[in-house]
Structure 1
């Protein structure tokens, strides 16, 4: 369940804090420290979470490597945790694919999908489970129901019919969360990712109850850039509100980020406003005269899914740059020598920033959870830190609501209708890649002609991204409250609204919005 602090969450955050602590330290013997961290996190002789304390430490070692941007080791070959660390001791390192990785010896080899009878079966006289099964897979053995797995098609009819709810369907959590059907089993029953299908949304890594799926990180490189004297500016996604604990105001988050080493902080809602203006112009120009509908571009995982599975709609996805890229370009226009670190909820943004056309805009991508590791390593007490009263280069309410499902389409719709009285924009929003696929099937059937389509890979929107800290419903409510408090309601009220064309076309070859 998302938003529940558990042992997997605890280990993940301890690893992030350890990486940050190592990076901040004046001790540059990184090999020695990397080998010792698993013993710092898993102390003593007794295993706490698994069968063996050695297995627990080995898994920590792989999580540590991935958190520093290094690949998972081949378990059939001898090697140290620190092998290849020299490649990460740099102030600039882009994510190498694959971004999302499975630590095979941490995987529980969960069944892919199975309908099974539990001990709750009462052997009732009616045998409704037997009667409703279309494949005759259910029978009564020694007075209790039994399912022939070779015949079962997992339709769930027996489960629905059982008056005692004694029949359940279990499914590998990572596969159930994957909207691309990209996860299957290898020859040992371990989870395996089909990277031709994967769009790096990260939902699998926050759904695995064994903590076997991990994405790569750039904490170490970001801090290294700070230590060598680079101007590193934090570009914070609108979903940040409420992510760092109760009572931690935006002003306190700014103060904490500066204490962590960032030279300045900018709200990505300003880029969301520019994205809104550009998408509104695109929609008015193209729909329905040049194309039947238009889809938003800001969620990279949704954009890649649409282009992979519905290539005929490729040109119907807005060419507007994402808020992350637009904000980064605004920053670099005024600070050409600065490095931009996008801080947000999203795993897919890491690969978006790794595109060759975007590397000059965004140097680092960190999740809220990874940044929390930096705060822990620096000993920053967020509730107690003195708020930074520096004027925040804020976005509008419309830009801030990009963080929640429906917010992007709402921003574009309200802007068009405000500036074009009598115009009504029809919108359709979907959250979760499975629902996004259904929406595109409706578009394929011609049922959404004239519509603006918004797709969000994560159920709930950006506030449900793989790198978030807060429960989804609570985070969504706090973002909406924060947006409602903004005096500027429409995207074109932004002080940067006149810069859309200039920022979008800073380079001869415009950056594409989706990751490779």
Structure 2
């Protein structure tokens, strides 16, 4: 359960942080002036003298300070030593700065110290005569005390059998929300009971940060660096992922979105679905060349969280991940070849794309990564009036892509596009596909593949529930976005990825000697 589509207090504060950091960047000040603006942000977001959120206004402002630092790409501060909120600001004031790991961070003093797993009896217990909860407990951890059931937490193994048999739904099984959302089992408790991330397991999908009800987890951003690039006159292209549909209601048309992005300072706007078209064709070729002769199955490459999970949790299956470039890299490399001096900013739904872009082999192509939520903050900072935004009649659409390319944004879309292309080339060939969404399900898929259950298959994994439209950087309700996306897919000017005017670029891009997955 995430909070996308619900305007919670956590989301409001997160958006305000992005907006104020963007305003600070657009002010284009240096030195002590920049320090002053950064120190002022927590007081702008949390005004007054009394705390209304956590009762302690000083604690809430301290948490906002950490959010501001992370939004600017700076590390969180240690709690056991003095360190100013502006510490390292001069390092962040560089338009060429990339992320320093770790990308996803726990703000320790914002953590509620939720129990990892807990089964407890609520006040709904009626003290019934049957007490089936006691009868089914394998450890005899439930006893009758003062007219109701009581669970001995020392004996309880959190199996939840009692939860299922209670006729009054009086027993609840809870789990720390961030840990429940993590499909990698990367979140545990530190010595003080606060959430802690095991970075050897974390793949930066970001599902923990959008599921924490206390806003205690945040990822680093490049808002400040991007706007530094605008300020110095860099030519920066906005590469927009197809999951943008439904994220910005006031900018529902692609023409308005393009006008808004240009008003922010972008030189031009390109739809990443054009890279998805190239990815479809290349991955189809890859599958035909590798399966079943060289590989027992092949897995898609476009989701970085899925790809990293596969390579870390199943290293012996790393070879089964397609060598095809992701749509982001295909699009960025294509635009860089057309305009070598320009810089590229991917705008999408994904926290893990930030990690992908920081890789040595990708950072020459992708200079910045923004989530849709971060972009919304920048739009607000620039005070863009979407209702009265003038749209150039010659620039109503983004660069055209196929319906298949646009469909990459939804779970199952990648595998379908690749399988359809193979079927077109080889009508008699039966292309078997299997897909999974959410990293826990993706792990199950690969375990079955490792056991030989998916030999000859094309496997698609999406790290986020629903696919990219459910990514950690999205704003809207994924279910509603799916409806809007299906409509956008149907409205594509053509269906076949091979009709893309950019298809001639595919061999040039792949022949680049610097290319490496």
Please say whether Structure 1 and Structure 2 have the same fold, judged by a TM-score greater than 0.5: yes
**Who is 1:474 aligned against?**
480
2:514 pairs with 502, 509, 513, which one? 509
Q: Which runs of 5+ in 1 are unaligned?
A: none
More deviation in 484-493 or 324-333?
484-493
**Who is 1:97 aligned against?**
101
Partner Cα separation in structure 1 for residue 514 and residue 505 of structure 2: 18
**Who is 2:334 aligned against?**
330
> Which 4+ stretches in 1 moved above 3 angstroms?
none
Determine whether 1:359 maps to 2:366.
no
Deviation readout 1:253-302 (Å, 9 max, x if unpaired): 11100001000000000001111111000111111111110000000010
Provide the secondary structure at the position in 1 that maps to 2:445: helix
**Who is 1:446 aligned against?**
452
1:82 pairs with 67, 79, 86, which one? 86
Deviation readout 1:338-384 (Å, 9 max, x if unpaired): 01000000000001000111111000000011111110011012243
Contact 1:432 1:458 in 2 (8 A): yes
Partner Cα separation in structure 1 for residue 490 and residue 335 of structure 2: 26
**Who is 1:498 aligned against?**
504
**Who is 1:53 aligned against?**
57
**Who is 1:22 aligned against?**
24
**Who is 2:256 aligned against?**
252
Shift of 1:456: 0.3
Alignment of 1:70-469 (within 5 A): 70-245=74-249, 248-389=252-393, 390=395, 391-469=397-475
Deviation readout 1:160-184 (Å, 9 max, x if unpaired): 0000000001110000000000000
Partner Cα separation in structure 1 for residue 421 and residue 461 of structure 2: 19
Provide the secondary structure at the position in 1 that maps to 2:210: coil
Provide the secondary structure at the position in 1 that maps to 2:70: helix
Deviation readout 1:85-142 (Å, 9 max, x if unpaired): 0001111111110000000000000000000000000000000100111111111111
May I ask how many residue pairs the two structures share in their alignment? 511
Partner Cα separation in structure 2 for residue 460 and residue 24 of structure 1: 35
Shift of 1:217: 0.3
Shift of 1:424: 1.9
Deviation readout 1:4-46 (Å, 9 max, x if unpaired): 1100000000000000000111443110111111001100011
Partner Cα separation in structure 2 for residue 197 and residue 258 of structure 1: 39
Provide the secondary structure at the position in 1 that maps to 2:173: strand
Contact 1:248 1:383 in 2 (8 A): no
Shift of 1:48: 1.3
Partner Cα separation in structure 2 for residue 71 and residue 330 of structure 1: 33
Shift of 1:497: 1.4
Shift of 1:511: 2.9
**Who is 2:493 aligned against?**
487
Shift of 1:150: 1.3
Using a 3 Å threshold, how does the CA distance of structure 1 residues 449 and 383 change in structure 2: closer, same or farther? farther
Partner Cα separation in structure 1 for residue 386 and residue 329 of structure 2: 28
More deviation in 22-31 or 117-126?
22-31
2:13 pairs with 11, 14, 18, which one? 11
